[in-house]
Amino acid sequence: MSKIACFVEKYNFSDPREEAALYNFKNAAEKAGHQFNFLFRENIAEIPKYNAVFIRATTDPLFTAYIVSKTAWELGLKVVDDPESIKICANKIHQYALFEKYNVPRIPTVFLSKDDLHHKQIKEIFDTLGKPAVIKAPYTSFSRYVEKAACETSFRDVTKRFFKKSDVLAIQKFTPTAFDWRVGVLNNDTLYVCKYMIPKGKWKHGAKLRGKPTVVWGRTVAVGKQKVPERLKEVALKACSVIGKGLYGVDLKEVDGDFVVVEVNDNPSIYAGYEDSKDKDIYQRIINYLSD
């Protein structure tokens, strides 16, 4: 029997679909004879009492989740997401540099340092990637901090905001598609596949309505993993192989009949009735991995 701590923050329970998924994990663990407790930030000191830690709160090296992950790792516990995966996935600069090094098919990307923001450089970027170009802050998640710019003025405006936090940004080729593929991967194996639809008239899965703070999300359509092209899974697994052996959500786009990686996320969203609707075993498989 394994004792599993699931690190969560209060917001993880604010969406009933996520809450249901969290209880699905708990039920799957208990059914297999394991102990599964939700661990909140006030009880971080209890980590040594457990055999494994499963993080569901948003991860970033600057968030409490990293403290939890690294503490568990240093104590020799099994941990998802592990600190190395957090370090690579929370920083898209790190991730794209690895993709470049290991030749992972990806959306054309260039890096821009704070000191290099000048007219000549911006012109060169537009010449290479075309207009508009997508500007991505390294700490992007849930479609936030990703904006497009079609002229130097808006390019400067967006980068100025993103440079406040990070001294390097990623600039990508604008590649509009009707949906992004999302491939869930655990320990170098495909866990689930779905399509994250892009809302009509928008270009990302979670998009703001003009002039309003509300975010509209595209639909999530689960696809049986046997029914998707082998090449899709192959590219997704290759991207994860340069990061680690944890749990990832790989975003890919289909371009000219092939697949390119948009990004790999650690701590992927798992909502009951969405990511799990074609692959009901994902809860059990993640619990088995944690308790192995």
Which residues lie near other proteins (CB under 8 A)?
41-42, 44-45, 60-64, 66-67, 70-71, 74, 83-84, 87, 91, 93-94, 97-98, 101, 111, 113-116, 138-139, 165-168
Q: Output the smallest distance, CB 56 to other proteins, in A.
A: 17
Three-class SS of residue 77?
Answer: coil
Nearer to other proteins, 58 or 284 (CB): 58
Nearer to other proteins, 14 or 45 (CB): 45
Which among 30, 28, 40, 34 is positioned nearest to 52, based on CA atoms? 34
Q: Output the smallest distance, CB 266 to other proteins, in A.
A: 15
Nearer to other proteins, 42 or 292 (CB): 42
SS (H, E, C) 195-241: EEECCCCCCCCEEECCCCCCEEECCEEEECCCCCCHHHHHHHHHHHH
Nearer to other proteins, 91 or 291 (CB): 91
Q: Output the smallest distance, CB 195 to other proteins, in A.
A: 32
The DSSP letter of residue 59 is P
Please tell me the distance from the alpha carbon of residue 119 to that of residue 108, in angstroms, as a whole number. Answer: 21
Please tell me the distance from the alpha carbon of residue 289 to that of residue 247, in angstroms, as a whole number. Answer: 10
Q: Output the smallest distance, CB 290 to other proteins, in A.
A: 22
Three-class SS of residue 16?
Answer: helix
Type of residue numbered 254: E
Q: Output the smallest distance, CB 118 to other proteins, in A.
A: 12
266 neighbors 139 (Cβ within 8 angstroms): no
Indicate left, alpha or beta for 103 from its phi (over 0: left) and psi (-120 to 50: alpha).
Answer: left
Nearer to other proteins, 71 or 187 (CB): 71
Nearer to other proteins, 124 or 281 (CB): 124
Q: Output the smallest distance, CB 91 to other proteins, in A.
A: 8
Angle ∠(260,173,275) on CA atoms, nearest 5:
45
